[in-house]
Amino acid sequence: MATDARAGATGVAAGLAGAVLTVDLDALQSNYRLISERLTGGATAAAVVKADAYGIGIGPAARALWAAGARDFFVAHPAEGIALRDHLADARIHVLGGAPAGAEEAFLEHGLIPALNCLGDVERWRAFCARVGKPLPCVLHVDTGMCRLGLDRREYARVAADPSLLDGVNIETVMSHLASADEDSSQNAEQLAHFREIRKHLAMGRASFANSSGVFLGPDYHFDLARPGVALYGVNPTPGRLNPTAQVVRLQAKILQVRDVDSPETVGYGATHRIAGPSRIATLPVGYADGYLRSLSNRATAYIGDFEVPLVGRVSMDLITIDVTGVPEAQCRPGAAVDLIGPRHTVDDLAAQAGTIGYEILTSLGRRYHRAYVGGNA
């Protein structure tokens, strides 16, 4: 197993790709450390690496996080857990979606720890533990306000009244999940009170409550194990306040062609942008097939050096067009780099322009980019 992350590249060769996605593994590690240092009372930080580590690449991300000290990892689906095991032989790998019926053997084989999300899950895991003759590790997930996964109030009342329902499994962690941690909402305190009540009756193992934003709600929310995801990857866990994390991704496209327009003309599908006066339009080889969302049509901006330039017309499958009229010609010739996500234009900025959240921008990052991983040694 690699215990250090090495810089490297994956995907399409840089010179042959439409754009280069640079992933700063040093920034990823410093975000992990920042969150770890925020935690109080001996709490530790897991790393949530579901969805290919939020789109940045599970292998390099997981190795860098391990090197930074993470030992607990969370994924959504069993297949993600199996893939992660190839990168980290010794990590505790938790599967939030749990073990589907019939997948228990695979959990044992790959050392995956399922979240038990209802009493039926508990029952099946118990039966499997009895079959293999030992109480295997698991996470007991109790719902406190998502109405999604986790024991509901009735199920929780049943186990509180009859704890023997949990005999025969090894509950290493009792977890719940915040619904509004990124907002100043009274729901946070309500869920916290509910989770504390739950811990009175289910006091076994570690308590795990906070996601990224939950960490920043303060010490009351920390418990034993935090589960940050998005903040590791540089998305602001404290919307409306300064982003405490370092940027992890940069997306740069190279100009394919520049066109001088001196008569009135329209740009792109549906002719949604009209050029009135003399202008220069640059075309970039990135489109919605790369996860550059179509909702960015006529709304996004990008940067050429210090110049902010508007995206004009619709985002098409493989191309976008930007108005570079205000940029010195020497800086916007074919081959010049344009920051679609960069130091001056964060994932959160682009998300706001698309009318979405940073999570969706990251997890949409395309497969056609050349991916360059830099840094990442502990």
Ligand X SMILES: *Cc1c(COP(=O)(O)O)cnc(C)c1O
List of residues contacting ligand X (CB under 6 A): 48, 50, 96, 177, 211-212, 227-231
Half-sphere exposure of 222 (CA within 13 A, CB side): 15
Of 237 and 313, the one with the shorter C-beta distance to ligand X is: 237
Q: What is the DSSP-derived secondary structure letter of residue 246?
A: P
CA–CA gap between residue 90 and residue 121 (Å, rounded): 25
**What three-state secondary structure class fits 318?**
coil
Beta carbons of 208 and 139 less than 8 angstroms apart: yes
Active site residue 200: no
Nearest distance from residue 227's CB to ligand X, in Å? 4
One-letter amino acid for residue 322 of the chain: I
Nearest distance from residue 364's CB to ligand X, in Å? 15
CA–CA gap between residue 100 and residue 305 (Å, rounded): 50
Strand order through the sheet with 249-254:
8-11, 370-374, 19-24, 249-254, 337-341, 301-304, 307-310
Q: If we measure between CA atoms, which residue out of 71, 65, 57 comes closest to residue 27?
A: 65
Q: What is the DSSP-derived secondary structure letter of residue 247?
A: P
Which residue's CB atom is positioned nearest to ligand X?
229
Of 137 and 228, the one with the shorter C-beta distance to ligand X is: 228
Nearest distance from residue 239's CB to ligand X, in Å? 11
Of 48 and 311, the one with the shorter C-beta distance to ligand X is: 48
Nearest distance from residue 66's CB to ligand X, in Å? 18
Q: Interhelix angle for 153-161 vs 119-132, to 10°?
A: 50
Of 137 and 229, the one with the shorter C-beta distance to ligand X is: 229
Bridge partners (DSSP) of residue 250 are 22
CA–CA gap between residue 358 and residue 239 (Å, rounded): 11
Structure tokens at 326: 């205000």
Nearest distance from residue 372's CB to ligand X, in Å? 24
Of 111 and 239, the one with the shorter C-beta distance to ligand X is: 239
Among the listed residues 32, 50, 54, 233, the single catalytic one is: 50
Active site residue 269: yes
Q: Largest Cα–Cα distance in the chain?
A: 80
Structure tokens at 296: 């960015």
Of 177 and 370, the one with the shorter C-beta distance to ligand X is: 177
Nearest distance from residue 46's CB to ligand X, in Å? 8
Beta carbons of 62 and 80 less than 8 angstroms apart: no
Nearest distance from residue 202's CB to ligand X, in Å? 17
Structure tokens at 262: 């001196």
Of 230 and 309, the one with the shorter C-beta distance to ligand X is: 230
Question: What b/e string do you get for 189-200 counting C-beta neighbours within 10 Å, with b at 16 or more?
Answer: eebbebbeebbe
Among the listed residues 200, 221, 269, 369, the single catalytic one is: 269
Q: What is the DSSP-derived secondary structure letter of residue 175?
A: E
Give catalytic residues, as residue numbers.
50, 269
